[in-house]
Structure 1
């Protein structure tokens, strides 16, 4: 529902057409350097998350949303993210 007090300037703002890169974080690993140096093809690097845990979406180092990994409908094997939480980027909350 639109708020008449809020003006949508996206049509007149040229920056709305600039592409950005979003990084999807599925987890972190903290191996020792010696273990990292021993990694070979097909090695498994355990992460700090479970398969069904939410992923985090970042622009730079700013967390902008969380979501669930899903497969793109009609495109077998291609990943997408279904958003479950979105930061209030307008108000910085």
Structure 2
């Protein structure tokens, strides 16, 4: 291990034989607010004078967001047109006890909470979107939509 001889040069400063300074050295003063403003203004003026700093800088081009939004909405709808949706037409509902459920068999009748001729509920992805009436087309059941449900009617 190398021993190092340290000498005191003057009050507040210590140095070694290899010339390295240790300890307290006088710190530079911190510029005041006026000096900072002056430096900033000087730098800004230098930037304006120097054309090389402005190379590659272009003016901003503003986008017509209303037109862009309409185009994006049209494209979004076009993309969504092939997404499959689950449609359920509900004739009615009922509540059964487990014992009643066990007794059900072929030919059993389950009474529902709606009367014959009452409108049926139409759900898309489990959300009520309308009401309709049951019709028969070529021996198949179908639903004729008679009402579109609005957000205020949904909870009813």
Check whether TM > 0.5: yes
Rg comparison, structure with higher value: 2
Alpha-carbon spacing, 1:24–1:34, altered in 2? closer, same or farther (3 Å): same
Q: Choose the corresponding residue for 1:71, options 108, 130, 136.
A: 136
When normalised by structure 1's length, the TM-score is 0.75
Write out aligned runs for 1:11-22 (5 A). 13-22=78-87
Structure 2 unaligned residues grouped into runs of 5+: 1-69
**Structure with the higher fraction of residues in helix conformation:** 2
Q: What is the match of residue 87 of structure 1? A: 149
Alpha-carbon spacing, 1:10–1:49, altered in 2? closer, same or farther (3 Å): farther
Q: What is the match of residue 108 of structure 2? A: 43
What is the number of residues matched between the two proteins?
81
Higher RCO (C-alpha under 8 Å, 6+ residues apart): 1
Alpha-carbon spacing, 1:37–1:17, altered in 2? closer, same or farther (3 Å): same
When normalised by structure 2's length, the TM-score is 0.47
CA RMSD, Structure 1 to Structure 2 (Å) = 2.1
Structure 1 unaligned residues grouped into runs of 5+: 1-6
